[in-house]
Amino acid sequence: MAISLQTLYEILLDVFEHQHWWPIDTQYHQKQHSDSRFEIMIGAILTQNTAWTNVEKALKNLKKHNTFTIDAIANVEEQNLKTMIQPSGFFNQKAQRLKFLASYLEERYERDLQKLFIQDTSEIRDELLSLPGIGPETADSILLYAGNHPVFVVDTYTKRLCRRIPFPIRSDSYADIKEFFEKQLSSIFLEKERISVYQELHALIIALAKQYCWKKKPNCNPCPLNGFCEKLL
């Protein structure tokens, strides 16, 4: 049975309620007078190929050592950074990526993220994609959650959902799924609503996947999308 993205959003919101994603430590940044957007950028890199629970441990270490700013990441010894972010896995690569990103933001934008995010969405995206270790999902996460730009983030959970629900998407490529979600949602929601809808729907799909789909044997019977799902692995 076909389902619209509006119906999907309404069902998931009714079941899981607002997710308020991306999680940041607002009180910490207020106290430290630091930019919470950079915490999101750090998290977007650390969450590559790992669970968020592991990222939280790494972020806690960075916070403990006051290494949550562009200046701090750019100047910290790389070995120390590796130790702090070790819980997130692939810490050698991620430390290099974080160091490069921080140095880049320091040199090009003088550590002022507003200068980055005030630009056109496509320009920022192309720029982020040109940096080492930043692919489409990471770039779009930074744009949506740190920059408040209206782009939809496609992750592994979204791809699996699209294999199970009969959406009219040309392929399972990142670009095609992203185009479908953005085109459909922009025809339903007002421009001023899209950013919050993109953020919520992305987080709601993750909640759905973790509770019902992302298992060796999917828990289909109680799933709120049971009547729409083709149950394809």
Euclidean distance between CA atoms 91 and 4, whole angstroms = 40
According to the model, what pLDDT value does residue 166 have? 85
Residue with structure tokens 């489409």?
136
Rounded Cα gap, residues 73 and 68, in angstroms? 7
The answer on pLDDT for 161 being more than 70 is yes
Residue 232 has pLDDT above 60, yes or no: no
Contact criterion met (CB below 8 Å) for 174 and 168: no
Q: What is the DSSP letter of 88?
A: G
Whether the pLDDT of residue 35 is over 90: the answer is: yes
Nearest partner of 81 among 101, 107, 57, 61, judged by Cα? 61
Taking only the tens place, the pLDDT of each residue in 91-139 is 999 999 999 999 999 999 999 999 999 999 999 999 999 999 999 999 9
List, by residue range, all CATH 1.10.1670.10 domains of the chain.
Answer: 1-30+150-233
The 10s digit of each residue's pLDDT in 50-99 is 999 999 999 999 999 999 999 999 999 999 999 999 999 999 999 999 99
Which amino acid is present at 104? Answer: Y
pLDDT value at residue 1: 66
Residue 162 to residue 63: CA distance in whole angstroms: 37
Q: Which of 79-83, 170-174, 189-193 has the highest mean pLDDT?
A: 79-83
Q: Tell me if 85 sits within 8 A of 58, measured CB to CB.
A: yes
The boundaries of every CATH 1.10.340.30 domain in the chain are: 34-146
Superfamily assignment of 34-146 in CATH? Answer: Hypothetical protein; domain 2 (1.10.340.30)
Q: What is the pLDDT of residue 146?
A: 98
From CA 63, how far away is CA 68, in angstroms rounded?
Answer: 6
Residue 233 has pLDDT above 80, yes or no: no
- 3-state secondary structure at position 11: helix
pTM for the predicted model, two decimal places:
0.95
- Per-residue pLDDT reduced to its tens digit, 198-223: 999 999 999 999 999 877 778 888 99
Q: Of 27, 23, 115, whose CA–CA distance to 70 is shortest?
A: 115
| Tally of CB atoms within 10 A around 12 | 20
User: In terms of C-beta density within 10 A (0-12 exposed, 13-18 middle, 19 or more buried), how is residue 220 classed?
Assistant: middle
CATH architecture of 1-30+150-233: Orthogonal Bundle (1.10)
